[in-house]
Amino acid sequence: MAWKTTDVVVQQDKKDLERLGAEWFAFKDKANVWHAVYGKLGDKGYDVVFHFVMDGAEKITRSDAKIDQAFLDGHARALATCRSKLMAIIPAGSPRFNQYIRQNADKTYSVWLLPAFQTNGVAVYGGEGIYTVDAAGTKLLKDESYFQPDLHGFLAQPPREIWLNYRELKKPSLGAIFFVWYYKAYFTKIFIDNEKSISTVIKDGPEYTWVHVEKKGETKAH
């Protein structure tokens, strides 16, 4: 939904595009229909500029249907809170990050900010913002982020074997696992190199199997 609607957004009127902020997200409603909202968080809450809906045939249409304002405000504030934290860590001109958000059963928000697939075809790793935010979306409750001194990347072409250097960690980070799963079709093999183990996925027909190899020699498949 994110990929399809961002392609549609750039085709919209320039004056509307100028009203956009960084707080946008996609979600499924109770009827399993995908929505995507693009707008900007202001003093009075979240102002929706574009609202798109995707049908079963994956056709994208613009919608004027109203979305619960409290739902929009909470998600937008949580994203803004976490993006502000991220921007204070990474220098200007750093690779772009994608944002993922989920409201939990206790009304808090989990937010993940992970390096995006860059427009120049580079797959980036080495930094991941992992946050828990209060129900209002304004207070950071937990920060489980991980950042190497520098971000690293690989051009996605040509397909080849690559190794992610995480030897300072005892086990794969969430961002490393996400990288392997997201880019598995772009590289022939992706290995996560941790302090005491090496992890990867192996394709077997239509299925993938995670393989975790202890550097002492023991192999575990999941």
pLDDT in tens, 34-51: 999 999 999 999 999 999
The pTM for the full model equals 0.89
Q: Please spell the DSSP secondary structure of 122-152, one letter per residue.
A: EEEEEEEEEEEE-TTS-SEEEE--EEEEEEE
Number of domains in the chain: 3
Measured distance CA(137)–CA(44) in Å, rounded: 14
**Residue 1 CB neighbours (<10 A):** 17
137-184 pLDDT, tens per residue?
A: 999 999 999 999 999 999 999 999 999 999 999 999 999 999 999 999
Supply the pLDDT for residue 217. 58
72 occurs within a structural domain: no
Do 150 and 116 sit in the same domain of this protein?
yes
85 occurs within a structural domain: no
CA distances from 98 to 29, 31, 118 (A): 21, 26, 10
176 occurs within a structural domain: yes
Are the CB atoms for 20 and 47 separated by under 8 Å?
Answer: no
Q: In terms of residue numbers, what domain contains 62?
A: 1-67
Do 107 and 130 sit in the same domain of this protein?
yes
Helix (H) or strand (E) holding 10: none
Do 164 and 120 sit in the same domain of this protein?
no
Do 13 and 27 sit in the same domain of this protein?
yes
